[in-house]
């Protein structure tokens, strides 16, 4: 939920900082259907049916990251995608080596006020965590709504999303200059060297 709130804040900041949301809508994003399916699978595993058999939950969770990886590859040339891929990759690898769960520190859980529930948790305390420093070890400030835990991968995801949004919603200076130049008439230098249409190629008109 916190990452979703950050996405809303990023979009709201675009017009406030001189950008245009209409440019974001024209991004050539590929694999949108697969992206929606991956997010839906995560919601099903984590929220809708957390009591499903553990093996199915782990498989679905990891499969959703595999689908997201393919979407990121398809859109690798978009600004910020390398940061997004690094963040998603850090989370995915840590989840994979910890049996499908992103390890969270007990202190971060207490500070965020999160109580683990029965069933599958995408983030929780792991008995003997691997790559624990890539898990949910940070907590959002208490003055922010929807207080939650964060990993290094989450921070990279947010940074990549910010680069994508702000780089895509602004016209570059060269593009703006080119558009202004297209509305101007021929330059003084071009006018000076322009040859009248009635003058023959040989130079002066006949004597």
Q: Residues 34-49: what's their mean pLDDT?
A: 90
End-to-end CA distance of the chain: 86
Whether 16 shows a pLDDT value over 90: the answer reads no
Predicted pLDDT at 195 = 52
**Banded pLDDT at 39 (limits 50, 70, 90):** very high
In a domain, residue 81? The reply is yes
Q: How many CB atoms lie within 10 A of CB 143?
A: 6
In a domain, residue 11? The reply is no
Predicted pLDDT at 150 = 93
CA distances from 18 to 12, 22, 116, 168 (A): 11, 12, 42, 12
Whether 173 shows a pLDDT value over 80: the answer reads no
Portion of the chain with pLDDT greater than 70, in percent:
82
In a domain, residue 20? The reply is no
Predicted pLDDT at 196 = 52
Range of the domain at 39: 30-170
In a domain, residue 165? The reply is yes
144 contacts 117 by C-beta, under 8 angstroms: no
Whether 164 shows a pLDDT value over 50: the answer reads yes
Whether 57 shows a pLDDT value over 60: the answer reads yes
In a domain, residue 74? The reply is yes
pLDDT in tens, 183-206: 455 544 455 555 555 555 454 444
Whether 181 shows a pLDDT value over 50: the answer reads no
96-99 own/partner pairs: CB under 8 Å, 24+ apart: 96/62, 97/130, 97/131, 98/126, 98/129, 98/130, 98/131, 98/135, 99/58, 99/126
Q: How far apart are CA 166 and CA 177, in angstroms?
A: 19
Average pLDDT over all residues of the chain:
82
Predicted pLDDT at 158 = 93
- SS3 state of residue 139: strand
In a domain, residue 202? The reply is no
Q: Residues 16-24: what's their mean pLDDT?
A: 86
Whether 167 shows a pLDDT value over 60: the answer reads yes
- Number of folded domains in the chain? 1
Q: How far apart are CA 5 and CA 146, in angstroms?
A: 8
In a domain, residue 153? The reply is yes
pLDDT in tens, 102-129: 999 989 988 888 877 777 778 888 889 9
In a domain, residue 201? The reply is no
Predicted pLDDT at 1 = 66
Whether 182 shows a pLDDT value over 70: the answer reads no
Q: What is the DSSP letter of 195?
A: P
């Amino acid at each position: 939920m916190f990452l979703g709130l950050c996405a809303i804040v990023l979009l709201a900041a675009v017009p406030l900082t001189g950008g245009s949301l209409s440019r974001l809508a024209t991004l050539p994003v590929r694999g949108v259907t697969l992206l929606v399916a991956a997010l839906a699978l995560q919601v099903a595993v984590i929220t809708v049916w957390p009591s499903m058999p553990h093996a199915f939950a782990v498989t679905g969770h990891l499969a959703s990251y595999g689908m997201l990886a393919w979407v990121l590859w398809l859109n690798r040339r978009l600004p910020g995608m390398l940061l997004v891929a690094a963040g998603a990759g850090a989370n995915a690898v840590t989840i994979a080596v910890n049996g499908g769960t992103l390890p969270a520190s007990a202190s971060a859980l207490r500070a965020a006020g999160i109580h683990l529930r029965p069933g599958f948790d995408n983030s929780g305390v792991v008995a003997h965590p691997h790559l624990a420093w890539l898990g949910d070890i940070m907590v959002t400030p208490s003055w922010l709504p929807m207080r939650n835990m964060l990993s290094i991968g989450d921070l990279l995801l947010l940074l990549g999303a910010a680069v994508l949004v702000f780089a895509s919603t602004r016209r570059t200076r060269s593009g703006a200059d080119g558009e202004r130049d297209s509305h101007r008439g021929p330059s003084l230098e071009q006018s000076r060297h322009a040859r009248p249409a009635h003058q023959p190629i040989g130079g002066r008109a006949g004597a």
